Amino acid sequence: MIGLPGLIGLVALAVFGVAQFFLIGTISAGRRPRFRPIPLFTALRGMLGRSIESGRELHVSIGTGSIGGEDMATTLAGLQIVEYLADEAAASGVAPVITTADAATLILAEDTLRRPYIRQGSLENYPPLSARLPALEPTQYAAATMDYLAHGRVLANVMSGVFGAEAGLMARAADKDALPQFGGAADPRALAVLLPTADNLLVGEEMFAAKAYLQARPPHLASLRAQDIARWAIVAGIIALFVIGLLSQAGQP
């Protein structure tokens, strides 16, 4: 038998599905929802163009998480930024440098970067060393990334994915060279060390909105708005159950 939490979850899922179905239609018809601005996504637009103009590399770290564990969702959220930049890279011929500390995530990052080149029939232009695996252990990965930030021709440092306290080492190296920094994390340890140094910071669930903000396709926008509707439905359901419980207790002798 489904308990009360399970019932609330099923109702929220149903609300989300129905809302997304109708929202895709309305958004495709031109009625796009408005969301609050998130400065990091605004700053990322055109960043690859500035990289081309300056002749310097845009570094994107998607962290130390894997795609097969509890960190999968956060890692995939970091890859959403890579996907957006990959489309720009295929059009311009200059790709960002993507680093990670997980071998499986590296393969996925390479595939994400290559896909736009394949769609355009220009795979021969894909820079093969755009996705890199400096190290497999978080502290060693941070040390290798620090060396790259210190000695490479880097325009800006973007860190969005799974990080722990080692994020502070990379952020310190970028800050030492006065590089613009953009961060995103769900771990409180990473947020604590990124907050003082990052020019813009994604906190928690903001990371998962990357596709809606950067690519702005109807399914992505509909999904983000449907999540808001489902969230309010859950809140309303909890309040309603609380009120019903109070009334039932008040009616007892």
13 Cβ contact list (under 8 Å, min separation 6): 230
pLDDT at 13 over 90: no
Structural domains in the chain, CATH included, are 37-215 (3.40.50)
Distance CA 48, CA 29 (A): 31
pLDDT at 1 over 60: no
pTM: 0.83
Mean pLDDT of 176-189: 90
Q: To the nearest whole number, what is the mean pLDDT of the chain?
A: 87
